[in-house]
Amino acid sequence: MRVSLCAFTVALGMFIGFLMPIGISEGAEEEATIEPGFIYRDMEFTVLSPFQVLGTMINRTGRDYRSACFMMKLYSREDRLLKIVDFCVTDLAAGQSKIFRVDTYINPTGMKGYKIQFKQGL
């Protein structure tokens, strides 16, 4: 488990099917691809309020985005949808990676996994 000055975090486990499970691992750098060519990795979930997700988004679409917007679906241990959180990554040029932070307000200790989908971009 990673420790930061602000909170303890639970790092990303391995990719299985469509859901990215939440597991405790050290130095996890698994990557997942989102159509039309975004990649996310280095996902960490804080286990102290306000419950945030931190990660890295990579633009491999071949196109520059002033704003690339995504939807993150959070799932319970029983595979029920807990919440959908929308977020955008701004000024994401082709080939560039950017760190993003999303407030989920959901305690990750009760989650099984998540799924991120591209919504739209400008």
What is the architecture of the domain spanning 2-121?
Sandwich (2.60)
CB 42 within 8 A of CB 19: no
Name the 3-class secondary structure at 28: coil
Q: What whole-number percentage of the chain has pLDDT above 90?
A: 72
CB 23 within 8 A of CB 12: yes
Average pLDDT for the chain: 82
pLDDT at 73: 97
Residue 4 confidence class, pLDDT cut points 50, 70, 90: very low
The ranges assigned to domains in the chain are 2-121
pLDDT at 49: 85
In whole angstroms, what is the distance from residue 46 CA to residue 60 CA?
Answer: 27
Token pair listed for 71:
């939807």
Name residues whose C-beta falls within 8 Å of residue 23's C-beta, 6 or more positions apart in sequence: 10, 11, 12, 13, 14
Question: What pLDDT, in 10s, does the model give residues 65-102?
Answer: 999 999 999 999 999 999 999 999 999 999 999 999 99
In whole angstroms, what is the distance from residue 115 CA to residue 84 CA?
Answer: 10
Question: What pLDDT, in 10s, does the model give residues 9-59?
Answer: 333 332 323 456 664 334 445 799 999 999 999 999 998 888 999 999 999
pLDDT at 21: 61
Q: Which of 118, 119, 116 is nearest to 53 (CA)?
A: 116
